[in-house]
Amino acid sequence: MEKGYFITGTDTNVGKTWATIALMRYFKSQGKSVVGMKPVAAGCLMLDGRLQNEDALLIQENASLQIDYDLINPYAYELPVSPHIAGVKDPVRLDHLAVKFELLKALADIVVVEGAGGWYTPLNEREAISDLAKVLALPVIMVVAIKLGCINHARLTHQAIKQSGVNCAGWIAVCTDPELLNGDENILTIKVGVDAPLLGVLPYRESADFNFFAEQVQI
């Protein structure tokens, strides 16, 4: 089994955090110690005197052991915009994130790292999420929101991951639109058109049921 996985998405708000928590609980059910990381988060709120992100707090809560927030989310930005804009006064440094990741990797069997936005979301003036994934050297799991347009988004993102030279370990379908017509056919089309295994399908839920979601994934 790999030491960890890097979670990316076909866009923002596609269900990366739900997939991340589902994977964390899945690995815990396999008897593994698990921690998570959200290296960069925008749209944070001031809590207990520091900026914190709702998704990062959920990742912290689901770890196998207590981890300081600053290790899970080293870059927490207030504005809900692209990280290279939100962090203009404190830009992301990949070497700093690599150090934090190595600390987490020493604490648990598995580290699940959730990226920000999509594969080419810029982190600073020169580097994007794709560069962070390469620096951390983790296999990538692509999260696809099953909605209108998802086939194109999935194929483009998967192609970009392959062109980046990293290993795509598979993809997870997250059903985000309860009114989508032919959802199963969309998933099947992506499965046929993407050269990576389907690791799970998270059915539509108005609110997260992470134990149920964890039962839907298999690596």
Rounded distance between C-alpha atoms, residue 114 and residue 112, angstroms: 7
Rounded distance between C-alpha atoms, residue 60 and residue 56, angstroms: 6
Q: Strand, coil or helix: what is 34?
A: strand
Rounded distance between C-alpha atoms, residue 4 and residue 145, angstroms: 22
214 assigned binding-site residue: no
Q: Strand, coil or helix: what is 94?
A: helix
Which token pair is 219? 């690596």
Rounded distance between C-alpha atoms, residue 30 and residue 48, angstroms: 34
114 assigned binding-site residue: yes
Rounded distance between C-alpha atoms, residue 157 and residue 11, angstroms: 9
Query: Which residues are registered as beta bridge partners of 40?
Result: 75
217 assigned binding-site residue: no
174 assigned binding-site residue: yes
Q: Give, for 141, the enclosing helix (H) or strand (E).
A: strand 140-145
Rounded distance between C-alpha atoms, residue 181 and residue 100, angstroms: 43
175 assigned binding-site residue: yes
Catalytic entry in 38, 100, 105, 134: 38
55 assigned binding-site residue: yes
Which token pair is 65? 């052991």
Query: Could you confirm whether 38 is annotated as catalytic?
Result: yes
Side-chain-facing half-sphere of 202: CA atoms under 13 Å? 33
Residue 37 has φ and ψ, to the nearest 5°, of -145, 135
118 assigned binding-site residue: no
117 assigned binding-site residue: yes
Binding-site residues for Mg(2+), in ranges, read: 17, 55, 114
> Which residues participate in catalysis according to the annotation?
38
Which residues are part of a known binding site?
Answer: 17, 55, 114-117, 174-175
Residues tagged in the binding site annotation for ATP = 55, 114-117, 174-175
